Structure formats: structure tokens, C-alpha cells
Amino acid sequence: MTERTSRQPASKQPNCDVVVVGAGFAGIYALWQARQRGLSVRGFESAPDVGGTWYWNAYPGARCDVPSYNYAYFFDSEIVRRWNWSDVCAYQGEIQRYLRHVAERCDVVKDIAFDTKVSSASYSEETALWTISTQSTETRPGEIVVCRYLVLAIGALSEPKVPDIDGASSFAGETYFTSKWPKDRAVDFTGKRVGVIGTGSSGVQVVPEIAKAARNVFVFQRTANYVIPTEGGPIDGAHMSALRQDPQAVRQALRETYGGNQPLGIGQHRFGELDAQGREDALRKAWDGKYPALAFRDAHLPEANAAISDYIRKKMQEIVADPRTAHHLTPWDHPYGGKRPCRSDVYLQTFNKPHVRLIPLTETPILEITPQGVVTSTETIELDVLVYATGFDAITGSVFAIDITGIGGASIRDAWRDGPRNYLGTMVHGFPNLFLPSSAMSPSVLSNMATLAEQQIDFILDSIVWLEEHGRPGLHPEPGSQERWREETLRYAARRPGALTTKSWYSGANIPGKPRVFMVYCGGFKKYHDNCLTELRDGFPSYALERRTDHKQEDKRQPR
């Protein structure tokens, strides 16, 4: 633990206590929580409405891949009791309506400046304040806001990957991105020749919808993904009634699980305890239960994971009629979980339709895009519409999109040049009072992001209240704490089959030139939560505390 001294000139006063950037799950809750704690707030959101990633990813078929009754807020039992999900896995429009409903109920909409992009954030050691600048537009000048605490609830998947294919801008037909789908009109694919580039979750969800109307669909696949069934369908009324009886108990129970999702009671046995028939039965039960990765209690072991991967490959091939297409749609090159698995009950089936064709880019790579369409190594495919489902500059992209400078004017882009470094996935050394929910080295995309949003915002606001109560102007982690956390994150990643060997956006491999670092904490939600609680309970022993000259305070914390 170190102490730094900051002077506090009376001239520079903050405009508010907390600025929250982003109005998705984390941002909405952060605004509400901050106001509950008696803090003044301002919110900024680049979209015209709340929703975050659920605002932008409005492509047909976009839906949640964990049960919506878990992928939801629990802080307010009345929300749980009143909101009726129409499907176990709700679609984008319903999730966005839900977030709007919560934002209105919490009365935070009035706090948010919409259509407003934050362009920079700089910390002053003199004042221990953050200065936020928003981008000016044709109709509105940029704004400058000074605050004490900055919460960047900007999401892990919000900075779309820029197309890196020669000639992409020359295409003469209609072009769409799943990550920025038009909101003002329905895109009409009727009778059109449509190309879809990318077969991650977005591609897998959008292709069957496009195929309903298009004349031809060409699916350009670079890497085959595991595709498992969804949990979608009608909600079990008895389950919902039980959940509504005690939402706070469910909230607590979710935090006790590995992924912030519900315990399912499958995977009772270890792989080594079962004979061949027992393994087959366990795999079938887990597949039928829609969680094939939970077939065994020790599913993370390489031999168990290999059995799970083989089982899913077999099931996928059973669905696709044409053996060559089935072969190409099967992920042979990485173990299950190495990349984010996709969920769909209709994607693989879509390739049995005569007007849908898979173009495996491993065999016939794209050479360029021309005004007419896509040129591969063997043919020119003429298109009327091109849909990019090419993903995101995940986790760090949204952070780098803002020019963030901390102590001594140091830029976060420099601090993270070799990959992100932080402590407990939320705070960065040298950037006091900057909080980054859903960011690197947290359970983020390997957990239920709604559960995580509530947990992290609770931790962040508890930290802020602690600072207020102890009269401390600032907090940021010690460099050693960051290193420890990074090592722990990588140690857990090494145990996860394929995590360190598969090319995935989890480790930045989808963006040319991005440092290859596994960016998700996979020690489990409960362990993560326990770490946060320990810091709070012990008075932040892994952090450096800023100290005011005008306060004669003693640090009563015990050194580590």
C-alpha cells in the first residue's frame, strides 16, 4: 500500500459526483445505485435510447443465449415479479424494451444525455477530478463535465471490427452490419442474393432469418463454430412462480454459481468414474438439458472436454444432410469452449435448404470484394446485399475508443499496449476513481453479464461510499495487485481447454496487431465476487489510496 498526496484547489469544483458512460445493463443500474447512495450523477449514451449492445445489435434473430429470467435485474424484486418474458431466451426487441422499462421505473432516463459520444476523459492529480469531453455534432457543441468518479459502462462488445477485406467499400449493393443494424426500417431481403460474412453468434442467428426471404444466401465461413441447441421456448410457469417468491434469494444463489447462471444439477459424475455407457448417458443428458459442457463434474479436464467436443461434432453432423457441408460446418480445429459456442435450433438446418450455400473460406478464401459481390479463389459470387457479422474489437476496443489519460497524463492505450492490466477487472493503476465494469480480466463474457453488471456496480458503488466515508479522494490498484490478478487470470485460462491455443476474440486474435492475451477471468463468478468482498471488508489492501492535504487522516489499514 502506498500513499500519494494530492492538493485540492477550491477553484475546480465538480459538476457532479459520478459520470456514467453507457446505458446498458451496467450503466442503468450504476445511475440508479449512485443516486440511491445520495450521489449526483450524469449519464452519457451514444445511442438515442437505452440498451447498449441490445440497442445496436437489432438484426433479425438476435437473442439472448442464457435464460432471460436469469439474464435480468434482481436488485428490485418488483421488477422480477412484474416483468413477463415471452420466451426463455428473449429476442433483442424485448430485452431493449425491458431495459427501457427498468430505466423508466428507476427514473434515470432524465439523467442521460442520449446521442452523445464521450471522446475523452482525463484525470487531474491536482484536483483528484475527472474531466469528460463529449463529441460535438452538427447540431450541438461538445460538452465538458467534471466529476469525481467515472464509471465507463461501455460494454465488452460495442466497438465493431472494421472490415479488413480488400475492396470492401467498393460494393455497390446494400451493406449491413449486425452490430449496427438499421432501427428505422425493416431490411427487406425478399428475392435478393445475400452474402453473410462471419459465423459467430451473430452470423448463426441472422442467417436463418435472412434465408426465410432471400433468393440465395451465401454464408462465408472462415472458422466453423460449435452450434448447440438453445434453451428457447415457453417459460415454465412453476419455475417462474418459485423464482418470484424470493428474488433476493435467487440473486444471491446466482452469485454463488460458476457462471452467474443457474445451477442445473447435471454433470453429477467425474469423467473417470464412468464407463463408456455412463459417459454416453451423461453426454446425452447434458445435450438434452442444453448444457453439453456440463456433462461431467470435471468437464474442464482435456479428456472430458475431448469427449464433449466429439459428441457435439457428431450431433451437428447428424443435422446437416450434405456430408461435405456437414464436414465444413463442424469445428475440427479447436476444442469446445475455445471459442464462444453458438446456440441455435435452426442454423445448421438452414443448410438443408437448396438456396443456402456454405462457402468455406479455408478452402476458397475471399480475394476481394468488388461492386458486384465477393470474389473467392475459385469464383465470383454476385450479390445484392452483403451482411457483415464479423464481430467486435472485444473488451479493449470500447476503452481505446475514448482518449483516457490518468496520473501524469499517461494514456490507457499506452498502459495497455501489451494487453489490458487491471485489478479485479474494474480498476487500473494510475487511473484513480476510474471504474470499468464488464471489462478485461473479469468473468465478463464467460458469465451471465446481467448478474455481473449488478455485482460489479454494487462493488463499485460500495467502493465509492467507502472513499466518501473515509474522506479519501481517490483509489486505484497497486501495480503488484494488477500483476497478481493478471497471473491468476492466466493461470485459470491455462486450465480451460483451448483458451490459450485457439484463435478467438477472448484473446484478441480476431483483430490484426492486437496483443494476444486471454482477457476473461475464468476462475468463476463466486471466486471473483469473494475477491471483491474481501477488498471491501479489509479496507482495500491491494489498492493505493489518494490522500488530501487538507485532511489529517491516518490510514488505519494494516499493511498486507
At closest approach, how far in Å is the CB of 509 from ligand NA7?
7
Alpha carbons within 13 A on the beta-carbon side of 194: 28
Contacts of 368 (CB under 8 A, 6+ apart): 165, 166, 167, 375
User: Smaller CB distance to ligand NA7: residue 219 or 460?
Assistant: 219
Which region, judged by CB under 6 A, interacts with ligand NA7, from 99-107, 112-120, 198-206, 316-324?
Answer: 198-206
At closest approach, how far in Å is the CB of 233 from ligand NA7?
20
- Gyration radius of the chain's alpha carbons: 24
At closest approach, how far in Å is the CB of 421 from ligand NA7?
23
Which region, judged by CB under 6 A, interacts with ligand NA7, from 89-97, 199-207, 410-418, 532-540?
Answer: 199-207
Output b/e per residue, 16-55; b: 16+ Cβ within 10 A: bbbbbbbbbbbbbbbbbbbbeeebebbbbbbbebbbbbbb
SS3 at position 528: helix
Q: Which of 96, 201, 344, 482 binds ligand NA7 (CB under 6 A)?
A: 201
Q: Which of 89, 157, 196, 283 binds ligand NA7 (CB under 6 A)?
A: 157
At closest approach, how far in Å is the CB of 61 from ligand NA7?
11
Q: Which of 347, 423, 505, 521 binds ligand NA7 (CB under 6 A)?
A: 505
What is each CA distance from 239 to 88, 236, 243, 250, 377, in whole angstroms?
11, 5, 6, 12, 53
Considering only residues 405 through 464, tell me which ones interact with ligand NA7, judged by CB under 6 A.
445
Distance from C-alpha of 329 to C-alpha of 226, rounded to nearest angstrom:
9
Residue 288, class by beta-carbon neighbours within 10 Å (0-12 exposed, 13-18 middle, 19+ buried)?
A: exposed
Q: Which of 27, 61, 155, 203 binds ligand NA7 (CB under 6 A)?
A: 203
Q: Which of 60, 155, 200, 335 binds ligand NA7 (CB under 6 A)?
A: 200
510 binds ligand NA7 (CB under 6 A): yes
Which region, judged by CB under 6 A, interacts with ligand NA7, from 73-81, 115-123, 191-199, 237-245?
Answer: 191-199
φ and ψ at 140, to 5 degrees? -145, 135
> Grid coordinates 461501455 are at which residue?
154
User: In the bound complex, which residue of the shown chain has the CB atom lying closest to ligand NA7?
Assistant: 200
> Grid coordinates 475514448 are at which residue?
402
User: Smaller CB distance to ligand NA7: residue 391 or 474?
Assistant: 391
Which region, judged by CB under 6 A, interacts with ligand NA7, from 219-227, 458-466, 491-499, 516-524?
Answer: 219-227
Give the CA angle between residues 338, 341, 345 to the nearest 5°.
160
| Residue 558 DSSP class | P
Considering only residues 343 through 402, tell me which ones interact with ligand NA7, judged by CB under 6 A.
361, 389-392
SS3 at position 443: coil
Distance from C-alpha of 146 to C-alpha of 369, rounded to nearest angstrom:
46
SS3 at position 43: strand
User: Smaller CB distance to ligand NA7: residue 140 or 180?
Assistant: 180
What is the pattern of x (binds ligand NA7, CB under 6 A) and - over residues 250-289? ----------------------------------------
Contact 406, 432 (CB under 8 A): yes
Distance from C-alpha of 417 to C-alpha of 177, rounded to nearest angstrom:
28
User: Smaller CB distance to ligand NA7: residue 390 or 405?
Assistant: 390
User: Smaller CB distance to ligand NA7: residue 74 or 220?
Assistant: 220
User: Smaller CB distance to ligand NA7: residue 45 or 159?
Assistant: 159
Which region, judged by CB under 6 A, interacts with ligand NA7, from 13-21, 93-101, 216-224, 471-479?
Answer: 216-224
223 binds ligand NA7 (CB under 6 A): yes
User: Smaller CB distance to ligand NA7: residue 148 or 334?
Assistant: 334
Considering only residues 290 through 319, tell me which ones interact with ligand NA7, judged by CB under 6 A.
none
Q: Which of 202, 444, 455, 531 binds ligand NA7 (CB under 6 A)?
A: 202
Instruction: Look at residues 32, 47, 6, 2 and name the one whose alpha carbon lies nearest to residue 130.
Output: 6
Distance from C-alpha of 538 to C-alpha of 462, rounded to nearest angstrom:
13
198 binds ligand NA7 (CB under 6 A): yes
How far does Cα 7 stand from its chain's mean position?
Answer: 38
User: Smaller CB distance to ligand NA7: residue 126 or 164?
Assistant: 164
User: Smaller CB distance to ligand NA7: residue 334 or 472?
Assistant: 334
At closest approach, how far in Å is the CB of 357 from ligand NA7?
16
Instruction: Look at residues 124, 149, 110 and name the one whose alpha carbon lies nearest to residue 21.
Output: 149
63 binds ligand NA7 (CB under 6 A): no
Instruction: Look at residues 523, 452, 533 and name the one whose alpha carbon lies nearest to residue 484.
Output: 523
Q: Which of 153, 197, 214, 467 binds ligand NA7 (CB under 6 A)?
A: 197
Contact 299, 267 (CB under 8 A): yes
At closest approach, how far in Å is the CB of 163 from ligand NA7?
7
Distance from C-alpha of 55 to C-alpha of 99, rounded to nearest angstrom:
10
Please give the size of the binding site for ligand NA7, defined by CB under 6 A: 23
19's enclosing H/E stretch is: strand 16-21
Tell me what percent of the chain is helix, strand and coil, each rounded to the nearest 5: 35, 20, 50
At closest approach, how far in Å is the CB of 362 from ligand NA7?
9
At closest approach, how far in Å is the CB of 340 from ligand NA7?
4
Dig out the grid coordinates for 262 from the structure.
443457474
The residue type of 291 is Y
Dig out the grid coordinates for 67 from the structure.
435464460
At closest approach, how far in Å is the CB of 113 from ligand NA7?
26
What is the pattern of x (binds ligand NA7, CB under 6 A) and - over residues 1-40? ----------------------------------------
Query: Kind of pairing, strands 385-388 and 193-197?
Result: parallel
Q: Contact residues for ligand NA7 (CB under 6 A)?
A: 157, 164-165, 178, 197-203, 220, 222-223, 340, 361, 389-392, 445, 505, 510
